[in-house]
Structure 1
Amino acid sequence: MSLLRRLVELLYGSDRALRRMLQYWAATCVLYVVCIGLVLVQVSRGMTDGETAHRLIVFGSWGALAFYALIRASARLGLKPDQLAVSQAVFSMICTMCAYAISGPLRAAVLVMTVLIIAFCMFAARPRQTLLLSIGSLAGAGGVMYWLQAHDPLRYPPMTELLTFGYLAGALLATALLSGEMSKLRSRLKRQRRELSDALETIRVLATVDELTSLVNRRRMHEVLEAEERRQPDENGTCIALLDIDFFKQVNDQFGHAAGDAVLRSFSIAARASLRANDVLARWGGEEFLLLLPDAAPEDARHVLERMAERVHGMPVPGVQGRRISFSAGLATRRAGEPFADAIHRADNALYQAKEAGRDRIVLA
């Protein structure tokens, strides 16, 4: 890790939310530095008293450092981003009002910073907080202006202060209203993003899961098999089985298609309960299923299928009374370097032999 990267991580931490708050803090610090530079220019030109300006600069600098410490400790102190944003905005407003009081003929230009402070709060504070902050800023500005015109009416004419207050009130209230609209837009975008995420998840499920049985579908099973080939390209130890529910067409003809769907659902539940942790069962088509048994010897795979057959024999099926459900299976061991398509073909041939031999049995290819 480079020295610069270590320094950045030391100052900003590694948490993404913390870094975002510190980025806002850094932006306000840049604004502080610009304002300090302008105040120093005013002092050099004799527009502002140097001692008073120095006190304000020290006050603002220590305040910025204090907020950095609060942000870094916000998790331990339980401070929320909106609370930190509003607190820092209040502090900035106090600094702005002090700068207004000492800036003499340039005081009206200082009030631009109040609008900028409210704009900064749009990204973290709630609309009600922004509105209250605007009202509080107006009250503070009004108090400072009243005090100045009352104590020095020659330098601070009452009418000038009143008109300045009117312009400031219009700008702050308009900014607060815009903040409310921005918050609504942000909430709408969050809701749309959440709905889009839910829709994508639904599409992903529909693309990979069979709706009737809740097993993975054929498309997803092909992806699983490709991943298994990459994981175990040239090794034995993986078995594949093709299963077919016996006399399924007779179930549909005798009890109806709703009963046939119930058989498929019950079969998937019973079959999944018999699998090992890494086994994958997919609906391959109609009443046919494909079972992947990674890292399994043929005798282990046969035990899984036999356990599955016992569960299927005893499973209750709504709408199908007095009929025992069974399945036939063809089991094949994948050979070294063999594509899964070839192993599935051999399992299919074994399944055909199981049906020819009377069904309800497992045949090893």
Structure 2
Amino acid sequence: MTLLRRLIRLLCGTDPVLRRMLKYWAATCVLYVACIGMLLVQVELGLSNPAAANGLIAFGGCGAFAFYLLIRANARLKLEPDQLAVAQAVFSLVCAFWAYAISGPLRAAMLIMAVVIIVFCMFALRPRQTLVLSAVAIAGMGATMWWLQAHDPVRFPPATEALTFGYLAGALLSTALLSGEMSKLRSRLKRQKRELTEALETIRLLATVDELTSLVNRRHMNEVLKAEERRQAAGADTCIALLDIDFFKQVNDQHGHAVGDSVLRCFAAAARASLREGDVLARWGGEEFLLLLPDAAPGDARAVLERMAERVHAMLVPGLDGRRISFSAGLATRRAGEPFADAISRADKALYQAKESGRARIVLA
């Protein structure tokens, strides 16, 4: 780790939330530095009193450093981000009032800073908080203007101060109202984003998962097979099996389709519990299922199917009156360089042989 990275880590910590808060603090510091630079120019031009300007610079610097310490200690203080934002905004407004009082003929420019402070808080505060902060700014600047015109009416003519205050109040109230509309828009965008994310997740599930059994569907299974072909171009140690629930049509005819759906769900749960890590079971169509067994020799694949057959036979399906379920399976080993479509075709023929031989058995192609 370089010395610069160590320094950044020391100053900013490693917590993402803390770093984001410090970024906002750094942005306000940039504004402070720019204002201090302009204030020093005013002093150089004789437009501001040096002692008053130096006092404001010291006050602003100490305040900025105090807020840095406050943010760094927030892990223990547990202050909410909006509480810190309000505190920083009030501090900045006090600096703006002070700057207005000492800026002489340039004091009207300080009113812009008051508006900027409110705008800066629009993104961190709720509309009501922004409105209250705007009221504080209006009251604070109004009190500053009243005191100045009362004690120095020559430099601060009452009529000029009154008109200036009116413009400022209008600007700040308008900004506060716009903040409310901005907050509503932001909330609506967040809600729409959340709804879009949920819709995309639903679409993804519908595109990849069978709704009834929660297994991979046929479309996604084809993508899995293509990926497996690319992963094992030579086709070594990969088996494929086609499974068919025995006498499933009789179940539907005698007990109804609702019980048939229960059989499919229970079969999927029992079969999935028998798989190894990396095996993929998909609903291929109706009561037929396709099982991919990567990195499995025929003996290992057969052991998985036999374990699956035991679990399926042991399960009890509600509404089936104690009838046991079994399945027939055709198992094929993928040959070197063979497309999975050909291996599935051979597994299908083996499945047909299993059915012809009396069902409830596994036939190796």
TM-score by length of 2: 0.91
Paired residue for 2:140? 140
State how far apart, in whole Å, the 2-side matches of 1:230 and 1:76 are: 52
CA shift at 1:244, angstroms? 0.6
Query: Does the 8 A contact of 2:316 with 2:322 survive in 1?
Result: no
State how far apart, in whole Å, the 2-side matches of 1:280 and 1:149 are: 82
In terms of mean alpha carbon deviation, does 341-350 or 194-203 score higher? 341-350
Please list, as runs of the form range in 1=range in 2, the aligned pairs for 1:150-169 lying within 5 A after superposition.
150-169=150-169
Counterpart residue identity of residue 241, structure 1: A
CA shift at 1:322, angstroms? 5.6
Paired residue for 2:108? 108
1:52 aligns with 2:52: yes
Query: What's the secondary structure of 1:27's corresponding residue?
Result: helix
Query: What's the secondary structure of 1:21's corresponding residue?
Result: helix
Please list, as runs of the form range in 1=range in 2, the aligned pairs for 1:269-288 lying within 5 A after superposition.
269-288=269-288
State how far apart, in whole Å, the 2-side matches of 1:74 and 1:228 are: 50
Query: What's the secondary structure of 2:241's corresponding residue?
Result: strand
In terms of mean alpha carbon deviation, does 85-94 or 55-64 score higher? 55-64
1:39 aligns with 2:49: no
State how far apart, in whole Å, the 2-side matches of 1:270 and 1:45 are: 86
CA shift at 1:213, angstroms? 1.2
Query: What's the secondary structure of 2:166's corresponding residue?
Result: helix
In terms of mean alpha carbon deviation, does 242-251 or 150-159 score higher? 150-159
> Which runs of 5 or more residues in structure 2 are unaligned?
none
CA shift at 1:141, angstroms? 1.4
Query: What's the secondary structure of 2:108's corresponding residue?
Result: helix
CA shift at 1:205, angstroms? 0.5
Please list, as runs of the form range in 1=range in 2, the aligned pairs for 1:319-334 lying within 5 A after superposition.
319-321=319-321, 323-334=323-334
Paired residue for 1:292? 292
Output one character per residue of 1:165-209: Cα deviation in whole Å (capped at 9) or x when no partner: 222222112111111111111111111111111111000111011
Paired residue for 2:307? 307
In terms of mean alpha carbon deviation, does 97-106 or 250-259 score higher? 250-259
CA shift at 1:7, angstroms? 6.8
Counterpart residue identity of residue 320, structure 1: L
State how far apart, in whole Å, the 1-side matches of 2:49 and 2:73 are: 37
Output one character per residue of 1:298-355: Cα deviation in whole Å (capped at 9) or x when no partner: 2222222122222222322333336432210011223344332232222112111111
CA shift at 1:164, angstroms? 2.1
Counterpart residue identity of residue 286, structure 1: G
Query: What's the secondary structure of 2:234's corresponding residue?
Result: coil
Counterpart residue identity of residue 334, structure 2: R
State how far apart, in whole Å, the 2-side matches of 1:328 and 1:116 are: 75
Counterpart residue identity of residue 201, structure 1: E
Please list, as runs of the form range in 1=range in 2, the aligned pairs for 1:57-96 lying within 5 A after superposition.
57-96=57-96
In terms of mean alpha carbon deviation, does 188-197 or 288-297 score higher? 288-297
Paired residue for 2:340? 340
1:243 aligns with 2:243: yes
State how far apart, in whole Å, the 1-side matches of 2:10 and 2:183 are: 32
Query: What's the secondary structure of 2:332's corresponding residue?
Result: strand
In terms of mean alpha carbon deviation, does 23-32 or 80-89 score higher? 23-32
Query: Does the 8 A contact of 2:354 with 2:360 survive in 1?
Result: yes
State how far apart, in whole Å, the 2-side matches of 1:75 and 1:233 are: 53
Counterpart residue identity of residue 242, structure 1: L
Counterpart residue identity of residue 364, structure 2: L
Q: 1:353 to 1:187 in 2, by over 3 A?
A: same
State how far apart, in whole Å, the 2-side matches of 1:266 and 1:15 are: 46
State how far apart, in whole Å, the 1-side matches of 2:284 and 2:328 are: 14
State how far apart, in whole Å, the 1-side matches of 2:24 and 2:223 are: 45
Counterpart residue identity of residue 254, structure 1: Q
State how far apart, in whole Å, the 2-side matches of 1:163 and 1:149 are: 12
Query: What's the secondary structure of 1:111's corresponding residue?
Result: helix
Paired residue for 1:97? 97
Query: What's the secondary structure of 1:171's corresponding residue?
Result: helix
State how far apart, in whole Å, the 1-side matches of 2:40 and 2:302 are: 86
Query: What's the secondary structure of 1:289's corresponding residue?
Result: strand
Paired residue for 1:363? 363
Output one character per residue of 1:107-162: Cα deviation in whole Å (capped at 9) or x when no partner: 22211110100000011122222122112222221221222122222222223222
In terms of mean alpha carbon deviation, does 180-189 or 53-62 score higher? 53-62
State how far apart, in whole Å, the 2-side matches of 1:44 and 1:161 are: 26
Paired residue for 1:266? 266
State how far apart, in whole Å, the 2-side matches of 1:254 and 1:118 are: 73
Paired residue for 2:218? 218
Q: How many corresponding residue pairs?
A: 365
In terms of mean alpha carbon deviation, does 266-275 or 68-77 score higher? 68-77
Counterpart residue identity of residue 305, structure 2: L
Identical amino acids, percent of aligned pairs: 77
